[in-house]
């Protein structure tokens, strides 16, 4: 019988990924700190960092909690069998319970989407989506544009996967780690966009234009917004 350690106390000292500090400091993975002491059956997965361990849980519909034990590079996931159990008490061990991020899954033939309500830069958002097994959302038709917009509140900006960072005004979809790029066509730009304001707007977001139009805008890649992943 393995046991789960509370990993929260170690988080402030972990700085291996941007995702981590942003995610945990701001409750970004939707981690709910539980102070219940538990002892559970769970098998060890060898991983060398906490973020990968957490993402394993987040990408698994049945996982409700994860624990990373740094001293042994051990990742422990807790699944449905235990999520709703009243947890055993044990003076030495604690569990951190993770809520899955707000997720909207639309089976659109081959695509599945999640909207992630975390403030990340475009590159961090792309990394998050890749870790989830996908990429920032891409849009290739009017129908798909509406579908993706329907995942948003049509007020706050959200990142999607286009950029012209490689070549100004040559907008492409970034297909994640495969680096396969497709020219963006058709486009759904908002009024007077893309304007490359400050000669530094190279990443694609949806944003609200004067409370009338929720459409594409080129924005500074280092800005932080919620985002939509697809896979």
- Which residues contact Ca ion by CB under 5 A? 195, 201, 217-218
Nearer Cβ to Ca ion (124/218): 218
* Least separation in angstroms between CB 218 and Ca ion: 4
Name the residue whose CB lies closest to Ca ion.
218
Q: Which is nearer to Ca ion, 8 or 189 (CB)?
A: 189
For residue 125, the minimal CB distance to Ca ion (Å) is: 17
Q: Tell me if 230 sits within 8 A of 137, measured CB to CB.
A: yes
Looking at beta carbons only, is 67 or 201 nearer to Ca ion? 201
| Minimum distance, C-beta of residue 196 to Ca ion, in the bound complex (Å) | 7
Smallest distance, Ca ion to C-beta of residue 224, A: 16
Nearer to Ca ion, 126 or 207 (CB): 207
């Amino acid at each position: 019988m393995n046991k789960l350690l509370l990993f929260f106390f170690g988080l402030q000292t972990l700085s291996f990924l941007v995702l981590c500090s942003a995610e945990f400091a701001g409750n970004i993975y939707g981690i709910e700190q539980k102070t219940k002491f538990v002892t559970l059956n769970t098998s060890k997965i060898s991983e060398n960092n906490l973020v990968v361990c957490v993402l394993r849980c987040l990408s698994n519909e049945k996982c409700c909690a994860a624990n990373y034990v740094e001293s042994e590079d051990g990742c422990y996931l807790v699944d449905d069998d235990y999520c709703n159990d009243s947890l055993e008490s044990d003076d030495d061990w604690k569990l951190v319970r993770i809520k899955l991020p707000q997720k909207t899954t639309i089976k659109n033939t081959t695509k599945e989407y999640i909207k992630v309500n975390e403030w990340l830069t475009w590159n961090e958002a792309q990394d998050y989506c890749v870790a989830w097994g996908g990429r920032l959302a891409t849009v290739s038709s009017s129908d798909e544009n509406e579908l993706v917009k329907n995942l948003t509140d049509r007020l706050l900006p959200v990142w999607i996967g286009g950029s012209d960072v490689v070549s100004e005004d040559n907008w492409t979809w970034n297909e994640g780690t495969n680096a396969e790029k497709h020219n963006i066509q058709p486009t759904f730009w908002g009024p007077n966009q893309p304007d490359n304001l400050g000669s530094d707007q190279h990443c694609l977001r949806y944003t609200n234009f004067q409370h009338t139009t929720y459409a594409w805008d080129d924005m500074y890649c280092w800005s932080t917004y919620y985002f939509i992943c697809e896979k």
